[in-house]
Amino acid sequence: MDQVPHRTMRSLFCAGKSDLDETGRQYLSHVEMQLNAKPAEYEISLPIEDVQTEFSPMLAEPLQSLTVAKGKEARFQVRLASLPPPEVMWYKDKKPLTRNGVAISSKHRFYYQTRAHSHTRGLIISPVDASDAGLYELKAWNKLGKVACSALLTVKGNKPKSKLVGR
């Protein structure tokens, strides 16, 4: 009878943390490894391009409701995490604010900023009037999923319409 050598199965657990360097590039800054319940720590620095993990859009900072005086500027902003970068669409009261990528109203200006996997998207409405009050929504998506958030714009100086009641 042949003897088979005994082999011990070992498992390896790895966890990492990423940071941004002074130029805004993302890198892995800390990796913790555990083999057979004996932890060992290693500090490494790898460009994030070497470790590409795609993920669906996530809300880092959702929209916040605003109250703005008539004639002033309203500024909605949302921060997303996503790879690949998300496509986005803005809505007011369920109606799109763009047509073929262009703002429908000259009162609406859109801005964006991308840094590593963080994407800031914004909407500026100026000057605000009564017709701008309502529910604003941002929908973001990529090939892995989608996310949405919404907020209300209330316009100060808006007087509620009153109905005359006959006597």
Mean pLDDT of 120-149: 96
Summarize pLDDT for 125-135 with one digit per residue, the tens: 999 999 999 99
Going by C-alpha positions, the residue among 121, 124, 110, 116 that lies closest to residue 59 is: 121
Domains of the chain in start order, with CATH, are 12-50 (no CATH), 55-156 (2.60.40.10)
| Cβ pair 45, 29 in contact under 8 A | yes
Region of residue 145 (phi > 0: left; psi between -120 and 50: alpha; otherwise: beta)? left
Question: Rounded CA gap, 139 and 154, in Å?
Answer: 21
What are 81-105's pLDDT values in tens digits?
A: 999 999 999 999 999 999 877 888 9
Q: Could you tell me which of 156, 150, 110 has the C-alpha nearest to residue 133? A: 156
Pairwise CA distance, residues 92 & 132, whole Å: 9
Q: What mean pLDDT comes out for the span 96-121?
A: 89
Phi, psi of 4 (to 5 degrees): -100, 125
The model scores a pTM over 0.85:
no
Banded model confidence at residue 159, pLDDT cuts 50, 70, 90? low
